[in-house]
Structure 1
Amino acid sequence: MLKRTITGSLLATTVLCTNAMAQDVTLTIESWRNDDLAIWQEQIIPAFEAANPGIKIKFTPSAPAEYNAVLNSKLDAGSAGDLVTCRPFDASLALYDAGHLANLSDLDGMNNFSDVAKSGWSTDDGSATFCVPMASVIHGFIYNKDAFSEVGVEVPSTEAEFFAALEKIKEDGNYIPMAMGTNDQWEAATMGYNNIGPNYWKGEEGRLALINGDQKLTDPQWVAPFSQLAKWGAYLGDGYEAQTYPDSQNIFTLGRAAIYPAGSWEISGFNNLVDFEMGAFNPPVQAAGDTCYISDHTDIAIGMNAKTAHPEETKTFLNWVGSAEFAKIYANALPGFFSLSNHEVGMEDPLAQEFVSWRSKCESSIRSTYQILSRGTPNLENETWNASVAVIRGNETPEAAGERLQKGLASWYAPQQ
């Protein structure tokens, strides 16, 4: 009798354990961030699974250049993961319009994000948001503190101070004033025009006015950033015209340049390469007392495959992505990729702390060309690359660049006609 009872108890326990194991759900994440694999496996996934027993996470990234094609083919074949990492704006909007991404507007975790934070993954009218924002990158200038000290220049806060510092560094002769080339074109627009531009067009005010057709690229506030870029060429060092993006990174990290027009994504890489102390400053304003604006650009988010077999578990994970716990883990694991949530996130990296501190003193915006305005031909984003390079090299006047961009935009975009 005793033996029969023990056997029955063991059988019941086995059944319960088997049922518990059977209830475990594994969610798969599609992503292009293959360099983040260790961070997900060692930090993010263990934290989520510890708080959510019964849900397992598998992070399966593709090569960045292949991600869009791989993801689209998987979605079409019905074999994509439950969770889809989302690039900002049109690529993800196309997935939503095709029915591949679920509408997450009613997700509780979405309450932790502002409209600007969600703009990269919302419909044009803002009625639906289909990915939970994960991080943004902030633009500004990284500088060599040793170089500043040796030359005797202070961190500039106005344009006049900025160019005075560049001139003094140039006269000193021991450092290239600013490390940026024009060979690859995109950096002239990304770390040039869209870095300094928000101070002129007043961030979101000007960006939205351009989308609505209330401002034009020939208006003074849109031509003025080109006028500043036209002065940069004198401070970029010999041969900057043929200098590539990796060349510029090397010049700065080897200590040969004093200033690097930057995106915060450089922080972790630079930390491992420099043997000097770095600082950062936000784009200098036109005059003392002016409101400052920064490009705090929406970069990465995560959404739900509309055909997932596990929608409730997937929403549980997405709500966690909107939590303070996720924000803290992600921001510290990847310094320079900043949480877009409203949570207060303490960061350990001093350079990351400096970049993110600008949010409390400056108004945030995103790159002017990324939402809606680059859907036609000519593509405004790519045309801004070309125009920024032409102006820096002195091959085109700021006014002519503005006229060319405006003509191209008006050729296909109705609000600008």
Structure 2
Amino acid sequence: MNLTRRMLMGVAMGGYLLSAGAAMAKTELTFWSWRQEDKAFYQDVIKKFQEKEPDISVKFETYAPENYQTILSTALAAGRGPDVIQARAYGNLEAIATPGYLLALDKQNVPELANFPDSALAAETLRSDGKVYAVPFAMQAQLVVYNKKILKDAGLNLPKTWDELIALCQALKAKNINPFSNGTATAWQNETIVGGLLSSMIGKQFEADIVSGKANFTDPRFVNALAKLKEVSQYFAPNFTGVDYPSSQQLFVAGRAAMFAGGSYEVANFKSQNPTLDLGVFPAPVLKAGDEALIATYYDGGYAVNAKTEKKDAAVKFVRFLATPEYGTAFTNTLKNLSPIKGIKIEDPITQDVAKLADHSMSYLMLVHFRYQEPSGSVLLQSNVQKMLAGQQTPEQAAAEINKGIATYYKPFQK
């Protein structure tokens, strides 16, 4: 009996030690992002991932968007940083991929890359070696978000041309309604406003001419579009030059403005803060009837793996999960952002509208083409438009300064 009891106790103790060892062996990943407003979504995603991979846990951490790239680059340069990185695309991706901070991805270690169109993968590709370094997560669009109830109650219709937009703003103002909630105190917002309001006037042909070197930013098409922006800025938030991004969002969420020029990614945030909002979207107004109405589109970023992580296998498993149609469908329908993953099902009517508008689009110009070198086209556009709307520059002067900065490295402008 004593021998039997000792044997049973030994088996039980062995089982305890095995289970304790398994618990100790659980891998914890850190996952960094700049999307604080998406935290609840990612926590839910992590739960679903852990149901499939119970031996891996994921800690989601966020940082302020304006500081994220600096914080991330500093950590990676020091050989630290997170295991999984929500990385931005284009030039910002190159800034952390070029020094070797990211693990190269291919269809061997991440077969799910086959789920993406080439254009999405190109946004996450390092131009110098042609390798992909992140799984794309969203196609974003710059357009105009509007409050359907405000326009309906005022008996007003959506504008298609620029003159109709100005007339709409005047009619709203006459009814003591703020037409736009936008402010310009947060520099990067000036670029989103340009994309949301001027894309149809700037046009795809201008984009092609800029890329080929047939035109530069002093072109009348670009200067005249900036002049139109200056014209409509009188209908932005009261004292708009001192209104920052969070304040402009809150004005719209509170129903104190009819429109918000910015990203399609704003919709989910607005609805989460005020579920009673009935929202719609429309493209940048055209200069004259018959012109093609456009939105500005780009790929927002991707999910990357830290090349120096000691938990590479677990990190790759998580990134692969973030590349599945299951994830893409949840991402699209929860965050109202378009996942570029093939085979997703879009349930949300506004996101369906964005997808339709994307059939007529141009690139979000500076991000896609001129955010690879310094001074970046985005910084030049943001700062000079900010000055122009504050009355410190003319549209011609703003365009000339933008062109001057890009010409320091862009050879077609040096002719």
TM range, smaller chain = 0.7 to 0.9
1:323 counterpart residue number = 324
- Aligned pairs for 1:306-321 (under 5 A) are 306-321=307-322
CA distance in 1, matches of 2:278, 2:33: 33
CA contact (8 A) 1:119 1:126 kept: no
1:380 counterpart residue number = 377
Indicate yes or no: 2:169 matched with 1:166.
Answer: yes
Amino acid at match of 2:367: Y
CA gap 1:163/1:125 in 2 versus in 1, 3 angstroms: farther
Say which SS state the counterpart of residue 176 (structure 2) adopts.
coil
Deviation at 1:110, TM superposition (A): 1.9
Deviation at 1:372, TM superposition (A): 5.5
Deviation at 1:74, TM superposition (A): 3.9
CA distance in 1, matches of 2:233, 2:69: 36
CA gap 1:411/1:67 in 2 versus in 1, 3 angstroms: closer
- Aligned pairs for 1:45-194 (under 5 A) are 45-62=46-63, 64=65, 67-106=68-107, 107-124=110-127, 127-170=130-173, 172-191=174-193, 193-194=194-195
CA gap 1:76/1:260 in 2 versus in 1, 3 angstroms: closer
- The CA RMSD over aligned residues, in Å, is 3.5
- Aligned pairs for 1:275-294 (under 5 A) are 276-294=277-295
2:210 counterpart residue number = 210
CA distance in 1, matches of 2:390, 2:67: 33
Tell me which moved more, 399-408 or 18-27. Answer: 18-27
Say which SS state the counterpart of residue 81 (structure 1) adopts.
coil
Amino acid at match of 2:172: I
CA contact (8 A) 1:142 1:281 kept: yes
CA contact (8 A) 1:180 1:260 kept: yes
Say which SS state the counterpart of residue 367 (structure 2) adopts.
coil
CA gap 1:18/1:149 in 2 versus in 1, 3 angstroms: closer
CA contact (8 A) 1:229 1:388 kept: no
CA distance in 1, matches of 2:353, 2:51: 32
Amino acid at match of 1:228: K
Deviation at 1:132, TM superposition (A): 0.9
CA distance in 2, matches of 1:301, 1:328: 16
CA contact (8 A) 2:30 2:82 kept: yes
CA gap 1:49/1:206 in 2 versus in 1, 3 angstroms: farther
CA contact (8 A) 1:253 1:274 kept: no
Indicate yes or no: 2:410 matched with 1:406.
Answer: no
CA contact (8 A) 2:192 2:261 kept: no
CA contact (8 A) 2:268 2:334 kept: no
Deviation at 1:131, TM superposition (A): 0.9
Deviation at 1:6, TM superposition (A): 7.8
CA contact (8 A) 2:138 2:338 kept: yes
CA contact (8 A) 1:194 1:295 kept: yes
Give unpaired runs (5+ residues) of structure 2.
none
- Aligned pairs for 1:261-276 (under 5 A) are 261-271=261-271, 272-273=273-274, 276=277
CA distance in 2, matches of 1:197, 1:125: 32
Q: Cα deviation per residue 1:70-116 (whole Å; 9 max; x = unaligned)?
A: 43454344443321221233333122111110111433222222333
- State which of 394, 410, 415 in structure 1 corresponds to 2:412: 415
CA contact (8 A) 1:176 1:258 kept: yes
CA distance in 1, matches of 2:249, 2:29: 38
CA distance in 1, matches of 2:362, 2:158: 21
CA gap 1:98/1:9 in 2 versus in 1, 3 angstroms: same
Q: Cα deviation per residue 1:389-411 (whole Å; 9 max; x = unaligned)?
A: 44445654434432332223213
CA distance in 2, matches of 1:211, 1:321: 33
Q: How many pairs are equivalent? A: 409
TM-score by length of 1: 0.82
CA gap 1:51/1:377 in 2 versus in 1, 3 angstroms: closer
CA contact (8 A) 2:137 2:340 kept: yes
Percent of paired sites with the same residue: 26
TM-score by length of 2: 0.83
CA gap 1:23/1:239 in 2 versus in 1, 3 angstroms: closer
Indicate yes or no: 2:38 matched with 1:39.
Answer: no
CA gap 1:74/1:244 in 2 versus in 1, 3 angstroms: closer
- Aligned pairs for 1:241-256 (under 5 A) are 241-256=241-256
Amino acid at match of 1:362: H
CA distance in 1, matches of 2:75, 2:386: 38
CA distance in 2, matches of 1:249, 1:30: 24
CA gap 1:27/1:139 in 2 versus in 1, 3 angstroms: same
CA contact (8 A) 2:184 2:240 kept: yes
CA distance in 2, matches of 1:182, 1:30: 28
CA contact (8 A) 1:141 1:261 kept: yes
Deviation at 1:236, TM superposition (A): 3.1
Give unpaired runs (5+ residues) of structure 1.
none
1:362 counterpart residue number = 360
CA gap 1:237/1:46 in 2 versus in 1, 3 angstroms: closer
CA distance in 1, matches of 2:62, 2:253: 29
Deviation at 1:299, TM superposition (A): 2.4
Q: Cα deviation per residue 1:310-345 (whole Å; 9 max; x = unaligned)?
A: 43333222222111111122334433x332323323
- State which of 28, 31, 34 in structure 1 corresponds to 2:30: 28
CA gap 1:117/1:206 in 2 versus in 1, 3 angstroms: farther
- Aligned pairs for 1:296-311 (under 5 A) are 296-311=297-312
Tell me which moved more, 388-397 or 156-165. Answer: 388-397
Deviation at 1:209, TM superposition (A): 4.8
Q: Cα deviation per residue 1:3-37 (whole Å; 9 max; x = unaligned)?
A: 59984976886687577667654433233444544
CA gap 1:403/1:277 in 2 versus in 1, 3 angstroms: same
CA distance in 1, matches of 2:11, 2:260: 69
CA gap 1:314/1:159 in 2 versus in 1, 3 angstroms: same
